[in-house]
Amino acid sequence: MKDFKYYAPTHVVFGKNTENQVGELVKKHNGKKVLLHYGGQSAIKSGLLDRVENSLKQSGIEYVKLGGVVPNPRVSLVRKGIEICKNENIDFLLAVGGGSVIDSCKAISSGRFFEGDVWELYLKKAKATKYLPIGCILTIPAAGSEMSDGSVITNEDGGFKKDYCVDEFRCKFAIMNPELTYTLPAWQTACGATDIMMHTMERYFSKDDDMEITDSIAEAVLRTVKEQVQIVLKNPTDYNSRAQIMWSGSLAHNDLTGCGTSGDWATHNLEHELSGMFDVSHGAGLAAVWGSWARYTRSENMARFARFAVNVMGVKQDFKSLEQTAEAGIVAMENFYHSIGMPTSIHELIGREITEKEILEMADKCSNYGQQTIGCLKVLSREDMAAIYRLAK
Amino acid sequence: MKDFKYYAPTHVVFGKNTENQVGELVKKHNGKKVLLHYGGQSAIKSGLLDRVENSLKQSGIEYVKLGGVVPNPRVSLVRKGIEICKNENIDFLLAVGGGSVIDSCKAISSGRFFEGDVWELYLKKAKATKYLPIGCILTIPAAGSEMSDGSVITNEDGGFKKDYCVDEFRCKFAIMNPELTYTLPAWQTACGATDIMMHTMERYFSKDDDMEITDSIAEAVLRTVKEQVQIVLKNPTDYNSRAQIMWSGSLAHNDLTGCGTSGDWATHNLEHELSGMFDVSHGAGLAAVWGSWARYTRSENMARFARFAVNVMGVKQDFKSLEQTAEAGIVAMENFYHSIGMPTSIHELIGREITEKEILEMADKCSNYGQQTIGCLKVLSREDMAAIYRLAK
C-alpha cells in the first residue's frame, strides 16, 4: 500500500428537504454576503432557487445572483464572477447545481484574490494563496466536485479544458437531496453514472495490487452504481436508488477509492480533449473511449482487468485464460454502457466519423504538443493517445 | 436510505515514517504548547517517543509529557491532564498511542474549559462549549478514535464506563504508520481486529435494508479485516496487511459504514459493563457476547443475518431456510473468533463462571437501573440484557 494523505472535510447534509438548511449552514461557516451561482432555467423552474433564496433571507444572508453556467463551464463567466466578488465584497460562494456550477465556483474562489488572470492557475503557471470558501447544493450526481479538490474549466478561446486542484477547493458543506435529481433526463442520469464509475475506475486500474481495502470499496461503489442506475432509468423517482447514486458520486471522487493506489486518469485526459473540441457530455465522452483505452493498456495488469470482470461485471472466470476473462469484462462494460444509452465509440458520440486531422489535433493538445505524457497503468505518449483515439473511432 | 450527516475532517497522513511529520502538523494546526499524552513503556522503549519529541523540538513546539494511560482509560488521569493544561497554558493535545490514549485526550479536551467536573459531561449532565484541538499518532488500530467523534472513559469509583460524543472530538490530524503496529502482541492485534469489525457490524445489523452502497462498503471492510488479521497473526511484520487493518479501523468508525442506517450499539453497551466490572480487553469482551446478542435478536431481520453469512463469512446459502443460513453465519463468525484467539463466552473471557448476581448488576448498570433501553435492531430492556448475558455465560 502506497503512502497517502486523505482529507475530506466537507460537512455532508444528506436527505429530504435539506436545501432548506442552506441559510443556516452559510451562517455557520461565517458567510455574510453570498454569490449565488447556478446554471440555466431548471433551478428556477423547479422552485429550488426560490427555496434557497428564502432560506438565505431567513438567516439574514445577503446575496448576488449569477446564473448561466453551462456544461464544460467557461472561463469567461468565471472572470465575470470574480469581478462581482470584488465589487460586491462577496465572502462566500454558493453553488446550486452540478459539477459545472461547483467547478465554476471553485475557479471564482481561486481567482478572487489572485492578481493575474485566473486561467494562469489552470495552466499551472501560478498558484493562488487565498481562496473564498464554497458551499453547494448538489443537483446532478456525477462530477463528485462537492467533495473533491478539483475543478475543470474550459477556455472557449481555443477549446482548451484544464484542471486545477487544491484542498481549499473542498466545499465547506454539501447539501444533497436525492429528490432534486428526480427530474434529470435519462441521458444526464446515465452520463452521471458513467462519470461516477469512471472516477472509481481511474483509481482502480493501477499496477498496485496491495490495497485490498481500497479495491474492495471501489468494487462496492462500481457494483452499486451499475445496479442502481438501471433501476433509476426505469423509475426516475425511486428515492433509494437516486440516493445511492448520489452518495456514491461523492465517495467515488473524495479520494476514498484511491487511498494507497496510483490514479491513472488517462481516460479523463483523453476525454477532456473530446469535450473541448466537440462540446459533448463528459460522461458520454468517457464511455466512448474507455473500452479502447482498456484494450490498449490491459496487458500492463491483466489480472486486475480479470478481477474487475469477475468482481464488478459478474463475468464467469475463464480459468484457462486471464486475457479472455479480461476481454469479457470489457465487453460486459460496453454492453452496460449501451444498455444505459451511452456510446462506446467516437462516431456514436459525435454522430460522424472523426478525421485523422482531428485525432492528431487532440493528441497534440492532450500531450501539450508532445511535451507531456498521461496515464500511470501505462504511460501514454502523444502517439499512444492518437492510437487510442483511432481505436475508439 | 435514512437522512444522514457525514463529517470526517481529520487530515490523515498514512505511511512509513510519517511520525516524523508531527511537529510540522502541530504547527500547521496552530499548536504552540502541547500536552504529549501516552500510555506505558512501549512508546518509550520503541524509540517512538524520542522521535516525536525531536520532531516537536525541530518545529519549535514546547511540550509537557503525561504518560500512564491504561486500557479503559481512567477519569482520574483525565483530571490530572486537565490541571496540567490549565497550569501550563497548553493549546494542543497530542495523543501517542491507541484508542485509550486518544479517548483520554478527548476527555481532557472537553474538560479544559468546562467549569464543572469532567465526569458530568460523560454522564450527559452538561455539554462543554469549548474544546482543545487534538492530533494523534496511532499505534493500535482498533478503537477508530483517530477519526471518530466519540470517547469512552472509565470512572474507577464504581466501575462505570461512559461515552461522550461531539464533533469537536474529531482529531485535527491522524498520523498512521503501519510499521508502528509490528510489535503489537497477537492478543492485542486480534482484539483490535474484533473491535474494528464490531464497529462495522453495529451499523450493519439494522432493520434498514435500503442502503446498498453503505452495506457493500461495510461488507468490504469486514471481509478485508477478517482476511488480513489472519495473515498478520502468522507474519506480524507484513506491511500491507498491517496497513489494511489500520486504515480499515478508521473507516469502520468514521461513520462511513453507517451512512443512511441506524446503528444498533447494543453489543458495545453490553461489553462496556463487562470491561467496567472485570477490566477485560474491549475487543475480547465484544467477541464474548456478540454471538449471544445475534441469536437473541436475529429474528428482527433474519435476511440481514443471512446476507452477512453469505457475503462476509462465505457461507453457502441454505435456500430452504433463511434461519439456517443466518445460524451458519453466526457459527462461522464464532469459529473465526476462536481462530484468532478470541473468546465467544463470558467464562472464556474472565476465566470462571459469572454469577447471577454479577449478571443482574451489569444489567442494572447497563440499563441505568431500568431507566433506559439499548439497541435498535431489537430494543433491549434490562431483562433482555440479563438474558443475553445469561446466554453468553
Tell me whether A219 touches chain B (CB under 8 Å). yes
User: Quick check: B67 contacting A, CB < 8 Å?
Assistant: no
Which range has the worst mean pLDDT, A168-182, A193-207, B147-161? B147-161
Judged against a pLDDT cut of 80, whether residue A181 lies above it is answered with yes
Q: A220 and B219: CB-CB below 8 Å? A: yes
* Cβ atoms A300, A377 nearer than 8 A: yes
A321-326 average pLDDT score: 97
pLDDT confidence of residue A167 = 96
Residue B60 DSSP class:
T
A167 interface with B at CB cutoff 8 Å: no
**3-state DSSP call for residue A359?**
helix
Within 8 A of A5 by CB-CB distance, chain B residues are 11-14
CA B260 to chain centroid, in Å, comes to 21
Across residues B280-306, what is the average pLDDT? 97
Cα(A315)–Cα(B151) distance, rounded to whole angstroms?
45
Residues A256, A8 contacting (CB under 8 angstroms)? yes
Contact call for A220 and B216, based on CB within 8 A: yes
**Helices B212-234 and A212-234, interaxial angle, to 10°?**
160
Q: Report whether A36 contacts A88 (CB < 8 A).
A: no
Quick one: which of A264, A254, A261, A257 has its CA closest to A211?
Answer: A261
Contact B212 A221 (CB under 8 A): no
- Closest CB to A3 among B14, B214, B220: B14
Per-residue pLDDT band at A386 (split at 50, 70, 90):
very high
> What's the whole-number mean pLDDT along residues A325-354?
98
Q: CA separation (Å) from B379 to B304, B368, B385? A: 17, 15, 10
Amino acid (1-letter code) at residue B366: C
Residue A40, pLDDT > 90, answer no
First CA to last CA distance, chain B: 37
At residue A161, the pLDDT reads 81
pLDDT digits (tens, 9 = 90+) for B202-253: 999 999 889 999 999 999 999 999 999 999 999 999 999 999 999 999 999 9
| Exposure of B206 in the CB half-sphere (CA atoms within 13 A) | 24
Average pLDDT of span B293-312: 98
C-alpha A186/C-alpha A188 separation (Å) is 5
Q: Are A268 and A253 spatial neighbours (Cβ–Cβ below 8 Å)?
A: no
CA distance B163 to chain A (A): 23
What's residue B252's pLDDT? 97
Cross-chain Cβ contact B4/A14 below 8 Å:
yes
As a whole number, mean pLDDT of residues A215-244 equals 98
Predicted local distance difference test score (pLDDT) of residue B158: 78
Which of A203-212, A344-353, B112-121 is least confident?
Answer: A203-212
Q: Mind listing the pLDDT tens digit for each residue in A107-152? A: 999 999 999 999 999 999 999 999 999 999 999 999 999 999 999 9
pLDDT of residue A158: 78
Contact list in A for residue B16 (CB cut-off 8 A) is 3
Is A159's pLDDT higher than 80? Answer: no
A276-303 residue pLDDT tens:
899 899 999 999 999 999 999 999 999 9
pLDDT tops 80 at residue B135: yes
Which pLDDT does position B192 carry in this prediction?
97
Which of B2, B6, B200, B262 has the most A C-beta neighbours within 10 Å, making it the best mutation to test the interface with A?
B6
Instruction: Give pLDDT, residue A41.
Output: 84
Distance from CA of B379 to the nearest CA of A (A): 25
Cβ-contact A130, A116 below 8 angstroms? no
Q: Judging by DSSP bridges, how do beta strands A62-66 and B33-38 pair with one another?
A: unpaired
Q: How far off is chain B from A215, nearest CA to CA, in Å?
A: 9
CB contact under 8 A, B240 and A1: yes
Mean pLDDT of the A249-273 span: 95
Query: Residue B91 in contact with residue B35, Cβ under 8 Å?
Result: no
Mean pLDDT of chain A: 96
CB-nearest partner of B1 from A10, A223, A240: A240
pLDDT grade for B374, boundaries at 50, 70 and 90? very high
Q: What is the 3-state secondary structure of B187-204?
A: HHHHHHHHHHHHHHHHHH
Residue A249 Cα, gap to closest chain B Cα (Å): 11
pLDDT of residue A71: 87
Q: How far apart are CA A216 and CA A312, in angstroms?
A: 10
Report chain A residues whose CB lies below 8 A from the CB of B247: 1, 213-214, 259-260
pTM of the model: 0.96
- Whether A12 and chain B come into contact, CB under 8 Å, resolves to yes
pLDDT tens digits, residue range B175-194?
999 999 999 999 999 999 99
The three-state secondary structure class of B351 is: coil
Distance CA A36, CA A391 (A): 43
Q: Which of B102, B179, B135, B171 is nearest to B25 (CA)?
A: B135
pLDDT tens, A187-204?
Answer: 999 999 999 999 999 999
pLDDT at A189: 98
Percentage with pLDDT > 90 across chain A: 94
**Does B283 score more than 80 pLDDT?**
yes
Q: How confident is the model at residue A42 (pLDDT cuts 50, 70, 90)?
A: confident
Give the alpha-carbon dihedral of B47, B52, B57, B58, to 10 degrees. Answer: 100
User: Which 17-36 residues of chain B touch chain A by CB within 8 A?
Assistant: 18
- For A11, the 3-state DSSP assignment is strand
Segment B70-96, tens digit of pLDDT: 988 999 999 999 999 999 999 999 999
Name which of A39, A34, A147 is nearest A93 in CA terms.
A34
CA B248 to chain centre: 12
- Using the Cβ of A303 and the Cβ atoms of chain B, whether some distance falls under 8 Å is answered with no
